[in-house]
Amino acid sequence: MKILVDADSCPKPARGLIIRAAIRRGLRAVFAANRPIPDISGRGIAMELCPPGEGSADDRIMALAVPGDMAITRDIPLASRLVAASVHVLDDRGRLYTLENIRERLSLRNFTVGLAENGLALQRNAVYGKRELKSFADSLDRLLTRLDQ
């Protein structure tokens, strides 16, 4: 199993946690982005610099993903593709995407995007603090432990 990270939108504290968890467990972690992301290094840690253009990092993650891998992304359309490919998917706030919930999440995301496109954007909570990081850390640890068994 490897950990695939949609690094463009992954907060720095979450990236650090992923790197430490991967090194501690001897897992390979691949961070994919359209731009260089600082501080991506360590044993088994790789940075995949993808070509410019929308979706290129997502496509690279999909090309690397195999059933049983883990992915970290807040991109719900990418999460939907990964879940369909039997990849375990978390977002950076600790939410687990599954076959049971991904359609609802994708529908809600599409509705929200539709509102924004029509000038009715909802206010978003962009804060990524200690509570969000702890929720992510707990979910990451739970999922890694479950997958180790």
Residue-range domain boundaries for the chain: 2-148
Helix (H/G/I), strand (E/B), else coil: 136: helix
Looking at the domain that runs over 2-148, which CATH code has it been given?
3.40.50
Token pair 């529908």: residue: 107
pLDDT at 133 over 90: yes
Predicted TM-score (pTM) of this structure: 0.87
How many CB atoms are located within 10 Å of the residue 54 CB?
A: 8
Q: Give the helix/strand (H/E) hosting 101.
A: none
Helix (H/G/I), strand (E/B), else coil: 145: helix
Type of residue found at 96: L
Residues 34, 56 contacting (CB under 8 angstroms): yes
DSSP symbol at 1 = -
pLDDT in tens, 57-68: 999 999 999 999
pLDDT in tens, 9-59: 899 999 999 999 999 999 999 999 999 999 999 999 999 999 998 889 999
User: Could you tell me which residue, 50 or 103, shows the higher pLDDT?
Assistant: 50
Q: Give the helix/strand (H/E) hosting 127.
A: none
